[in-house]
Amino acid sequence: MTNEPRRAVSPDRISRVRRSNSHHFSITDSEANAPRLLRKVADAIEELGEIELLDVTFCVETEGSQFEATMTVYLGFPDEE
């Protein structure tokens, strides 16, 4: 945690989020290869065209000696307002 002040969310941003539909997709790399996973996610975002990126999460799960990485992208489409 940092001591940096939190930036206030603008009223315009709050209004857009409240009236938008949120969508998401996840991509998993079974070998937890982060560069490859990031490329796949970037390609998928580009294919979607114009979107409003709301959030991106990154998760690594382990099972024994196996690692798996997943990225989930949360987005909205500007024309859905």
Alpha helices of 1-81 — where are they, by DSSP H? Answer: 11-18, 34-48
Q: What is the pLDDT of residue 3?
A: 65
Q: What is the pLDDT of residue 12?
A: 78
φ and ψ at residue 29, rounded to 5 degrees: -115, 115
* Nearest Cα to Cα of residue 41 among 69, 68, 67, 72: 72
Alpha-carbon distance 81 to 69, whole Å? 33
Go through the domains of the chain in sequence order and give each one's CATH number.
Answer: 21-80 (3.30.1070)
pLDDT in tens, 14-73: 776 666 678 899 999 999 999 999 999 999 999 999 988 888 999 999 988 889 999 999
Instruction: Specify the pTM.
Output: 0.71
